[in-house]
Amino acid sequence: MRHILVTGGLGFIGVRLLKHLSRNPDVFIHNIDNLSLGVTHFDTLVPADRRARIKTYIDDINNQDLVSAILRDNNIHQVYHLAAESHVDRSISGPRAFYESNVMGTLSMVEGCRNHIEQGGRDDFRFLHVSTDEVFGDLGPEDPPFSETSSYHPSSPYSASKAASDFIIKSSHRTFGFPAMVTNCSNNFGPGQNAEKLIPTIVNSLAKEHKIPIYGTGKNIRDWLFVDTHVAYLEAIMAAGSPGQSYLIGGDMELTNLDLVARIHKIFNQRRPDQAKAFEDIFEFVSDRKGHDRRYAIDTNRLKSHFPNVAKVNFNRALEETVDFHLANND
């Protein structure tokens, strides 16, 4: 049995990663999560027969004694580090928690893992740090997409804390030879996402016949990445990525927020024709978010060339699956 450590495994991406990794019957997963946002549909999304091979520790990654004990007692050789505070609006109203989790928590993980490597002589140890494309700031309409050579220009307390955590990883590799890789992903979506996020907000507002709140003019552009495609890339990068490297993971699907609303509105009308309304009647513009990034986009050419065997889920099918899930599990 091969033992793996995941942090933040009860979050949205984390649960899908637990589901994905646990399909291998020879893998046992140790998961640390402090439940800062509750459990994101773990029992709904992870099959019952796999849950026996997932052990969750309700604790904080800043508890270095716990981290060290899990690493040592289970001879851990792989760590997927997803634990992070990730809601931009919350970071604007209360930045401190984001720095305590994303910066100090990442430092705690690195220090615990470095000690684990030194004590055990584990030459095959690998650490994957999951970050965001928001560390690069934003783009204009005609700017080329972000790439692995893009410079960092974080715009919010959240993205600044993630940028700092990226630099902890990169500097630890250069200074200590820490065998870590960084991934920066675009906007994830899929079944089970927290109700505060945009797509669940759109679906739930339509179901409850509330106006969908749209920041500013609705013309901000995001690149949408289906979460199952994301976790498949994470596994591939853990297996074959090069320590010290960064990998950008995108969905090749740039949409304005209004375009996204229109696509979901069309699916919703097909599912619930009795609640169908005209497009112009379903949303309202609200005051724009402070420091709101205009556009995110990712150049995925390097990713695809390094990991050509990772299958990408069709966007329209993935969006329909997501809408159906949130209609069935209305928050």
Q: Which residues are catalytic?
A: 133-134, 158
Burial of 308 (0-12, 13-18, 19+ CB in 10 A): exposed
Q: Which SS3 state, helix, strand or coil, does residue 205 take?
A: helix
Pick left, alpha or beta for residue 121 (phi over 0 → left; psi -120 to 50 → alpha; otherwise beta). left
Residue 231, both tokens = 């976790």
* H helix or E strand, kind and range, residue 317: helix 315-328
DSSP structural state of residue 99: I
Residue 24 to residue 236: CA distance in whole angstroms: 14
Closest of 251, 254, 252, 248 to residue 234, by C-alpha: 248
- Cα end-to-end span (Å), the chain: 38
Is the Cα dihedral 148, 151, 153, 158 positive or negative? positive
**Alpha carbon 261 to its chain's center:** 21
Q: Which SS3 state, helix, strand or coil, does residue 3 take?
A: strand
Alpha helices, DSSP H only, in 9-156?
A: 12-21, 42-45, 48-51, 64-73, 88-93, 96-98, 105-120
